[in-house]
Each structure stands twice: as structure tokens, then as C-alpha cells.
Structure 1
Amino acid sequence: MIIMLIGFLVITLLIALLTALYKLERSQKNRPRAKMEEYWNGRERRQHQRFKTSLNVTYLLKKAPHNNSNGKTVNLSEGGAQLLLDMKLAVKDLLELEILIPCSTKMRSEDSGAPQENMRARLVGEVVWSKESEEESLGKRFFHAGIRFLNMNEPHKRTLCEYIRTLPSDSAD
């Protein structure tokens, strides 16, 4: 008799537990959820639209000011760039950057109105992320780095923004 009573109590407790779990699951299904995918994959987390463009970059690590290195942009925005480099940079490294910007017919010299061959945007940037690239060339390793531009002076900012405005919208990243 006691065994039957214990069995009955166990079954009753299990039914109560399953009912509570079922109700909890149903209440969460009806609850509106945040749209995290739109935030992480959308433009909301970026201040500036990025454009795929490959430009030559010369950079100088501020902590090693006598060693110029070269790289290329993978994408570019008014606020930063992704670079392809032959060395790994540390997060928070400060760089002096010189981006070689080709002039198109849309970009004219302010003085003469004639097209220029190319322009240089000199900027200071901070490394916000860095990782090894999956690509190799002749056994050489490459690295990607996300750079945030800091304190851009007006002429170089204007040069960069004018170039970005000439990029086709289908190159937006």
C-alpha cells in the first residue's frame, strides 16, 4: 500500500512538472523576440557603409616608427577600413596610414578642374580586430585587420569621402 502511495505521488509530481514546463515553453513562444539577426547582419551596428575596394596602403606602427609596411584595403568606409597585411597587428595598435586613392573623372582638382593621377589620404587609425587570413601566397601568411580612423583632418577626410562617393553602390559590403 505504501509503495502504491509513493508511486502515485511520484507520478503526480512528474505530471505537475511536465505541465509547468509545457506552460513555460508555450508562454515563451508567444513572447516577442528581439531582432538580433538584423542588428548583427544589418547596417544598424555600423555608422558608415562599407565598400569593397582594393587600394594600396602604406602604414607605420606608431610604436615602431621607422618601419614602413605595405598592404591593401579589402573594404573602406568613411570611418575605417579592413586591411590585408603581411604581419599581424595587435588590437589597439596605432597606425599612421597613407591610402593611395586613384582619381576618377568624377574627382577633379579644386584648383584647375583637371583630373589628377592619384591622391593620398593620410590618416591615423586604431586596430580594432586582427586575424590570420585563410589565403596564402607562395607559403606566405597574410592577416586581416579592422582599422578605425581617428581624428581625420579635413583635407584628407574630404579626399577619402569624395573617393567613396564615386564607388558603385553594388560594391557596398
Structure 2
Amino acid sequence: ANPDIASAEVPEFPEGVRMRKADEDDLQRFYAIWTEAYGEYGDGPATFDWLTDEAEWAGCLEDEDGEIVAFAMTSEVERGEGRILAAAVAPEAWGNGYGRLVLGAATYQLSAAGAVKATIRVRPDIKQALRTCADLGYRHQAAGLEFRRDVDEDAIRERREERRKAGVKARFGGWR
């Protein structure tokens, strides 16, 4: 959560890079970026559809060639609080600071819409996302744990069996 976004500033974009409000035609590219960026951590098309339905604002970052390389979506502001629903950068554009730009733009949009607090859910196993959020003033809040599991029962049994075997230590001889 970012406890004080009332003073959120308009992010400065490097020359040749621009942020614009997204439209329906951008959603296919957003989904491609979201899928590539999250890889094995992605939740699939149903979650992406939910995000787009919930989004009050969506913005896309275009590079020098006019290609969409990153995007962010925000919720409606309710009781002074808004949520950043999604922020993702295309893997081929990683390392250019684009994540910081779209997260900053989304935070600014929430502030401009009247939010005094912003939240974003970040997977703890995506370390760069944690750093980017912290750099922009977001702080960890223990709001609960999210548990996930595979629905493939055979895969679950196979992993359980692998863990059972991996933890076995055998000792031979006269030990106590």
C-alpha cells in the first residue's frame, strides 16, 4: 500500500516514450504482455477478463516505434482508496525503467481521481516488482496470505511423492 499519494507527481517520460489512455484495440496486446511477463505466475484469461472489467482507467506505454511495451490498469476510487489492478512490461523491454513509469502513471491517475491511498498486489516471488513498488513509496502490509494449488490431482500426487523421496536420509551402521 502507498499510504500517501495525495502528492503523487506526473511521471516524467524519456524522449520518444509516451503514455496514453488505452482503448479496446489495445487489449489483445495487453493480454500478450501480461501473459509473457507473468509466465508461470499468470492466472489465465478469466482473470485478465476480470481485470479489464474492473478497470476504471488503463494506460499504455509506447516506445519510440509506437509499439506498446507496457501497461497499467486501475480501479475506481472508493472511500479515498484505489487499486492498481495490473502493471506489466513486455519481457523484451525489461531493464528500461518502464515498470516504474507505468506504476508511477497509475499512481498519479488514482491521485487525480481523488484517492489518498493506493494498493497493488504483488507476487513475492517476482523480486523486481517488489523493488519497483518500494522505490515508488509502496510499503508491505500483511493483509493475509494467498494460497494456490494446481487442480491436476496426478501432478499433485507426483510432486508429493518427489518431496517424500527427496527428504529421506539413510544411515547404516552403529549409530544412536
Q: With the length of structure 2 as denominator, give the TM-score of the two structures.
A: 0.24
Which of the two has greater helix per residue? 2
Structure-1-length-normalised TM-score: 0.24
Higher strand proportion: 1
Greater relative contact order structure (CA < 8 Å, 6+ sep)? 2
